[in-house]
Amino acid sequence: MPPRIQNQLASNSLLPFLSSTSTPSTSSSASLSKLPISQYSPSSSCSSRRSSRPFSSTASTQTKLRNEMFTWLKKEGEALKNHTPGSTNYLSALRFRGEEGQRPPSWPFPLNPSFVSEPVLSEELRNDIYERVVVKKKSVRAVSVELGVDMRRVGAVVRLVELEKRMKQQGKSMALPYARAIHEMIPTTPLHDDARGHRFKPHEAINDLPVHRLTETQIFYPVSESRQFNRVDAGRVFSAAPAQEHTQVARNASDPAAAVSRVTQQPSTIETVGKGADETQVLQAADMRIPHPHLVAHQRHRLEKPNEAREAQDLYKKRLKVEETAEKERKRISKERAEQKLLKVQPEASRFEFRFKDVEVSRETVGKDGRGSKAPGHRYGVPSYDRKKGQVKIPTRVEV
Amino acid sequence: MRNRATTPLSKPKLRQSWSKYNLFNLQRLRNPPTIAKTFFQQKWTAKSMARAYHGEQVRESQWARMFSRRIRSVVPMNPVKLAEDDGSAMSAGRGSGLENVTYAEQGRANSRLTPFTQMTFAPLERRLDVAIFRAMFASSARQARQFVVHGAVTVNGKKMRYPGYLLNPGDLFQVEPERVMFATGAPKDKFERREGRVARRKASETTAEAEAAEEGAVAAEETKESEVEGKEAEQEAENPREALKTLLAQAKSIMAGNKDAMSAKRKQELRGFQKAVKRVLSRSESSTVLTDSLESQFSELTLLLKAKRTEKKNDKGSKKEQKQSAAQTSESSSATASESQPGEKLTEAFRQAAENPEEEVDTSELTDDEFDVLKRALVQMRDNPIDSSKPYATPWRPRDYMSAFALIPRYLEVNQNICAAVYLRHPVARPGFSEVPTPFGESVGTSAFAWYLKRR
């Protein structure tokens, strides 16, 4: 039986889009028949094929492709093998290098410029964050603004450095050469000596406004031309709340900073719309929903009184302090409330602590028939599907 | 689960992997043609291309359940802009502001569109195995999965054996550092493997002796480390000779420890070190302090050694590289010197020692740069020792072609020293940027998203 001729037109989704050359040529990549024709070094691939299969007339695609690959790796791909410390070494730079002598592109995938390899915190900056938070006892919010690092990231850095210190103390093995190599390969944000450096070149945007679900719809809302229709009004329209009263509007306009701080410091006072299960808070304006609302008030003060820089700074610190104390107070109250609801009983000479929680039986909690999903305990008459096929038993959360 | 995540060349598929085959396939990748293709065909090819990369370990039905048409996005706000106006200027007049927006401005706004459809596979980034791969703790998503299944991964301090665990914002996951070093390090060559075998055999023969020797070595190391730390804390004026001496002693102990298990080349290198250290010791009597600050810069001992060796063989080509790298080291050392005074002094001392014309050239032709390099190399020998018992090539160096895939997305905060990372938040799109690392272009992303909308 003669050897089967391999079908070049094999149905593969990716094959037609993979060009055999490093230079993008749409004509060659579009046609299937041209694919195996290598444009690197036909002589070398041919010779090696000849030597490996002297009596065969069948084109062996596999060896050919492998040849192609290894020639590429030896020629163009050679630059990607090892990194040069302090600079990225991406495939997109490889194509770029021939054209211009500028900075290499920072996206690792040539076809996807919308994903950029963004810098990570350098070792020094990480330690500095830890020192500011733990040693100098600064608040996470203040450190975030100072260094231009997201608040969640500040918290995570503190946790990780704490863990690192503990591991060092316990004498556990660490991956120091690995860490060093990684920090050489990817861009890093250095620690600047003065605060200005961090202000002008922040690590990341700290005032990201998450796009709210309600704002995804397009609404046609007619408004009289004489009306000042601002962000607060737009939020109310999106959440289908009635327009504010004139007195309220006037009060907010006279002191916008107070209006913002009222919402951010006492979130429970936010107006709600809807009834029962559909009850939701009115969508607030961007001024309240960004992570650092106090910065808006600070900027407003600076715009109003541009010559009082020091006063503005003092006011900023005061505002920050107020914000922090309000946050602490809120946490304390919620903790107290949780403790009040929970009754802890620990019998003498017992290993266990019993915790009792009051149960509220209402239409909202347990539903009409008492079998609601929020109802406490085992629900009689409701089948448990945990042995059924396809039931996922992977834990959904791990408590710290 | 059988590993079907192969990276063939004839039927190429992109994978979440750092292999050179994958790199070659990535280099060949082009956007699929849309001419003379039905919309269904376009969507089908796009989704099959994308799914080979994104969560090929996840069953299609499982992924279809995870898919969400709502894509998270954020808009970075400028507090100055928010302070300037309350938004009423934008809605003035007939609802789009009093002034007409020019076409040029519109064009600028359009150039920063949010790439929503590049975020199609964002739910998969929540998976533990994918997150481990993204944090660069494993060389492929499959390997990350294996680490999880084999119990090398903890989430919030508890062992987690499910690769499909969906991380919640704030979860801290950690992989054993040894596994990470194995996954990301260069593999052993056959000589090193043999060394390991020989060492193991020898260890099994004389366990008691080996244990004693190891204990001694460990103790020496510990005392040395504590000494260095203590020095940093206590007084600056302590003699650097002590530190260098301990380093020398360590090099000797390594030589003595596994005499038979080392190749001749390694031995020669080590002997060269010892000689060089002796020479520095004889010269740097006047220098003041030696601290840890300098040891932070260079990663690979072997790379430097190789460069040195090649220089001896063919002088010119590699000399330039050596010079460049040396220049980089001097820059970086000056950077560290600005932070800590002693580092500067030490480098000065080294320079003095090298500039001295009385120098003998008998041991090896070392320049001042090389002295610096040598010093670093010696310090790193402590961090990154030659150890045949490890499953990777020692001293550790990154595997080939790793830098082409080196990236850490913003939704993770990684501490490489302890191989731990925090999943900060879910990946989001922002104007002009997406946070899901995908090698495919906009056209593939959009078609794949359209496929999963289920309106075929």
ipTM: 0.81
Q: How many Å apart are CA B177 and CA B160, to the nearest integer? A: 16
Residue B232 clears pLDDT 80, i.e. is over it: no
CB contact under 8 A, B77 and A290: yes
- CA A132 remoteness from chain centre: 24
Residue type, position A145, single letter:
V
**Residue A34 touches chain B, beta carbons under 8 Å:** no
Residues 351-370 of A with CB under 8 A from B: none
Alpha carbon distance A347, A353 (integer Å): 7
Same domain, A139 and A81: no
> What are the tokens at A295?
């910065």
Choose the final residue of a domain: A165, A200, A235: A200
Do A275 and A248 reside in the same domain of the chain? yes
Percent of chain B topping pLDDT 90: 49
Which of A116-125, B250-259, B278-287, B334-343 shows the lowest mean pLDDT across its residues? B334-343
Per-residue pLDDT at A302: 92
Instruction: Please give the pLDDT value at position A345.
Output: 92
**Which chain A residue lies closest to B43 (C-alpha atoms)?**
A13
Q: Which residue of B has its CA nearest to A20?
A: B28
Question: Is the CB of residue B372 less than 8 Å from the CB of residue B326?
Answer: yes
pLDDT beyond 70 at B290: no
Write down the mean pLDDT value for chain A. 83
**B389-436: per-residue pLDDT in tens?**
899 998 899 999 999 999 999 999 999 999 999 999 999 999 999 999
Residue B225 has pLDDT above 90, yes or no: no
Please indicate whether residue B34 or residue B260 has the higher confidence score (pLDDT): B34
Full-model pTM: 0.75
Buried b / exposed e across B36-53, counting CB within 10 Å, b at 16+? eeeeeebbbbbbebbbbb
Residue A133, domain member (yes or no): yes
DSSP single-letter state for residue B176: -
Domain that holds residue A52: 15-97
Confidence check: pLDDT of B130 > 80:
yes
Chain B 141-200, residues with CB within 8 Å of chain A CB atoms? 155-158, 160, 162, 164-166, 168-172, 174, 177-178, 180-181, 184-185
In which element (H, E) is residue B276 found? helix B264-283
- Binned at pLDDT 50, 70 and 90, residue B289 comes out as very low
Higher pLDDT, B355 or B81: B81
B412, B173 contact by CB (below 8 A): no
pLDDT of residue A185: 93
Q: What is the pLDDT of residue A171?
A: 92
User: What is the average per-residue pLDDT within B276-300?
Assistant: 38
Is A233 part of any domain? Answer: yes
**Does pLDDT of B237 surpass 50?**
no
In a domain, residue A365? The reply is no
Average the pLDDT over B233-249 and give the result: 51
Which residues of chain A are modeled with pLDDT < 70? 1-53, 59-62, 96-102, 378
- According to the model, what pLDDT value does residue A43 have? 38
Which residue is listed with tokens 């204990």? B215
More confident position, B86 or A148: A148
| Interchain CB distance below 8 Å, B84 and A231 | no
- pLDDT single digits (tens) A269-278: 899 999 877 8
Task: Decide if pLDDT at B167 tops 60.
Answer: yes
SS3 content of chain B, % helix, strand, coil (to 5): 55, 5, 40
**What DSSP line would sit under B392-425, residue for residue?**
S-SS--BPTT-GGG----TTEEEETTTTEEEE-S
* Domain ranges in chain B with CATH number 3.10.290.10: 1-75+111-185+400-456
Residue-level pLDDT at A111: 94
Residue type, A130: Y
End of a domain among A310, A334, A358? Answer: A334
- Clarify whether residues A232 and A174 are in a common domain: no
Query: A262: which 2 tokens?
Result: 């009222």
Same domain, A227 and A326: yes
A230 contacts B439? CB cut-off 8 A: no
pLDDT of res. A138? 94
Query: What confidence tier does B211 reach under pLDDT thresholds 50, 70, 90?
Result: low
What domain count does chain A have?
Answer: 3
Q: How many Cα neighbours within 13 Å face the side chain of B59?
A: 5
- Indicate the CATH number for domain B1-75+111-185+400-456: 3.10.290.10
In percent, the amount of chain B with pLDDT more than 70 equals 59
DSSP alpha helices (H): ranges in A346-387?
A: 363-366
Determine the pLDDT at residue B93: 79
Nearest chain B CA: its distance from A378 CA (Å): 26
Q: Is residue B212 very low, low, confident or very high in pLDDT (cuts 50, 70, 90)? A: low
Nearest by Cα to B309 from B322, B326, B297, B328: B322
Nearest CA to CA, how far is A315 from chain B (Å)? Answer: 16
Look at residue A328 and tell me if it is in a domain: yes
